[in-house]
Amino acid sequence: MKTRLGYLCIVCCVLLAVACKNTPASSSGGSEAAAVDEGAGGCEGEKAKAILWIDYKKGKKPISNGMTIRTVKVHAHVYADGKLKIISFCKKQPMRVEDYILKKVEFYTIRKEVFEENYLEPGDQYLQLRYVPAWIK
d(CA 95, CA 98): 5
User: Is residue 70 included in any domain, yes or no?
Assistant: yes
d(CA 41, CA 58): 32
Domain count across the chain: 1
User: Is residue 30 included in any domain, yes or no?
Assistant: no
User: Is residue 21 included in any domain, yes or no?
Assistant: no
User: Is residue 7 included in any domain, yes or no?
Assistant: no
User: Is residue 79 included in any domain, yes or no?
Assistant: yes
User: Is residue 12 included in any domain, yes or no?
Assistant: no
Average pLDDT in the 69-76 region? 91
- pTM of this structure: 0.62
Rg (CA), the chain: 23
Average pLDDT in the 95-118 region? 90
User: Is residue 65 included in any domain, yes or no?
Assistant: yes
- Structural domain for 76, as ranges: 43-135
Per-residue pLDDT tens over the stretch 36-61: 333 344 677 788 888 888 877 665 66
User: Is residue 48 included in any domain, yes or no?
Assistant: yes
Top pLDDT among 21 and 40 is at: 21
* DSSP class per residue in 5-68: HHHHHHHHHHHHHHHHHHSPPPSSSS-HHHHHHHHTT--TTPPPSEEEESS--TTSS---TT--
